[in-house]
Structure 1
């Protein structure tokens, strides 16, 4: 490829972003979203591929911290804004950007890179594995009852403009981040993205609304949502509650928020598009079949430095295993690694000892947050057991009590 790869300059942002829009179909973002994207762009971590005076490829990264099993926040590159001009596809542009980007991530000392994929087939060849899933639901509230735990009636709810309570909602979110793998500590400026509300993107729904849960004067939960009015012939109301976000510190606050959403007048359905796969509302409802539950891929994760990545998390059971790792795109990871760890910590170092499990870096990425078991990957032929018993022990060690979840895209 003879094109020029450059670090993005602020003066070139509009042309760079327009190329990204073109790669995603040519529909321009609203002015509000465009300015929010500009505000959080990390120019030193964003690159453009140039053909003469034209931008033909874009890629960027955010300097995130990602929660891993054990609760630690690990420096992580959040890969974003990846696009190639339609007339420059299949010419090595994407591969060149991924090569440059992963080299830069390694140089910065970040052991992990993550992304959300517009097309799942794209990123596996660069070593990214599906590390978490997300649950969507369409709850028929007119036909599903809700059973709430003791203490729910002690929670006070109040409506507030989303922007007016943004600080307290962000503080609550920050308290929850260490408790679930896959969550991201939001960077300054990202809080504005949580309440972005362009009228053009509402699809007939109301402006964003917020309900805050309180107990003894403390904020213990919140939900952000929209209402889409729907009327059947004969003036029968069947509106939708479109849930954007719901977070709570305890079961009573959580249930109080769901009960509120169930009871909103003129609605008969809650549509939630991005919830953790172990979301507790599934145990509050009387009929899960009428909740329209569906799963899809969420966060994709790639260990950039295998040893540092595996040392950064803890393990649910004691583990001592030699992994034969294959990584064709980042060959510095290829080889045998001895992973030793437990709930207190871990070490992962190169070794010449015989391998007990063989897998690629992509499978490590899938299993890393505990949402996908090594045993399941082995059943698909993607992990090979070389020493009897190693698979069961390692699979148990990589597990997570809570399912990993990415609450929002980037």
Structure 2
């Protein structure tokens, strides 16, 4: 049998999405989730593979705008909803979709592609490297206290309806995006995602709640969370489930964390996804009682080496020639001279001798500053060809704040 790859027709969305659900276990999503994802679907950027009248492969690419070191907001393809029917594995369907998708991304003029991986081993062969990490933790609020900075008591907290406060929260979020690489500038309708709260997925927790942090009448921070009540033989043992938290200054952030850690009838704050350098780790009196763990989050693929490396700035002066290997996107293959500093950068093809050799996968891993080129070289994945060039490039590629993806897609 032959298969056909084609752009998704709105009339085929339900069957297409059903293929995706089945590939991820077959548990139907709530009507609210399906409605939102259909509204967010950019049909001309989504593809499917069909075997006759049956959809057997799915993939999409949202038109994102991603923050990079230096504060620029760069066009990026948000690769999403990738699946292959179990009956059609090992027939080259995934490779054909990745091929079409990256060709399209290049044609759209987007220098980056990003995704979150259900299985990290899948996407390395297509040039994706792990570009951000995230921290999970459970703060034991019976045993852990917070030491807050000066000015925290001047912050006023106000409970608010999550839907009615959405505009105020999104205004805070938008101001935070340029300050941390890896964040996506939310476009219309994406503000609904952090507030998506189907009852079927609460697991016994309350509906989503919201608290705003204010100073002189201005909203300077917010937290979205839920409460999961529990009573043990020793007494109340509820949990605060943090969904989202952003603040414009240390005092506002501390006020929100102090609030979350002192809610009545709870003994813990469960953190699902926060930056690895998040401030709460320095506010708590005993980080061991918070059991932090780290895992990969966003995987990044450099689609256009020159445009991608020119789009960000560098925290130290750099003048390095990279020998880039990229078998899947051969237009990136070859030598590229990167010159830049904190004010800007240029990256052009060159015939000069290479200083550092690496594949596009390692370039993606280092791009936002989460992983150093020196660390990758220690694993044998980057080679230094000119003495001193590796450290020079590694320092330049760093970021003063850890890159972080605030939500999946």
Structure 1 residue 2, shift from structure 2 partner: 3.4
Once the two structures are superposed, what CA deviation does each residue of 1:65-95 show, in whole Å capped at 9, x if it has no partner?
1000000000100000111111111111100
Once the two structures are superposed, what CA deviation does each residue of 1:200-249 show, in whole Å capped at 9, x if it has no partner?
00011110000000010100000000111111125x10100000001000
**What's the counterpart of residue 348 of structure 2?**
349
**What's the counterpart of residue 70 of structure 1?**
70
The reply to whether residue 120 of structure 1 matches residue 120 of structure 2 is: yes
**What's the counterpart of residue 215 of structure 2?**
215
**What's the counterpart of residue 378 of structure 2?**
379
**What's the counterpart of residue 2 of structure 2?**
2
- 8 Å CA contact retained: 2:229, 2:266: yes
**What's the counterpart of residue 255 of structure 2?**
256
**What's the counterpart of residue 273 of structure 1?**
272
Q: Displaced runs of 4+ in structure 1, greater than 3 A? A: none
Question: Counterpart of 2:174 in 1: which secondary structure?
Answer: helix
Aligned equivalents of 2:118 and 2:71: distance in 1? Answer: 28
Over the aligned positions, Cα root-mean-square deviation in angstroms equals: 0.8
Aligned equivalents of 2:3 and 2:29: distance in 1? Answer: 27
Normalising by structure 1, we get a TM-score of 0.99
Which residues in structure 2 correspond to 1:121-200 (within 5 Å)?
121-200=121-200
Which 5+ residue runs of structure 2 have no aligned equivalent?
none
Aligned equivalents of 1:198 and 1:69: distance in 2? Answer: 35
Aligned equivalents of 1:89 and 1:255: distance in 2? Answer: 49
Question: Counterpart of 1:322 in 2: which secondary structure?
Answer: strand
Structure 1 residue 193, shift from structure 2 partner: 1.5
The reply to whether residue 233 of structure 1 matches residue 233 of structure 2 is: yes
Normalising by structure 2, we get a TM-score of 0.99
Once the two structures are superposed, what CA deviation does each residue of 1:296-352 show, in whole Å capped at 9, x if it has no partner?
001100000011101110001000001000001001101011111111111111111
Structure 1 residue 19, shift from structure 2 partner: 0.3
Q: State the aligned residue count.
A: 409
**What's the counterpart of residue 294 of structure 1?**
293
Question: Counterpart of 1:168 in 2: which secondary structure?
Answer: helix
Change (3 A) 1:2 1:349: farther
Aligned equivalents of 1:193 and 1:324: distance in 2? Answer: 40
Question: Counterpart of 1:22 in 2: which secondary structure?
Answer: helix
Question: Counterpart of 1:143 in 2: which secondary structure?
Answer: coil
**What's the counterpart of residue 326 of structure 1?**
325
Which 5+ residue runs of structure 1 have no aligned equivalent?
none
Aligned equivalents of 2:187 and 2:52: distance in 1? Answer: 34
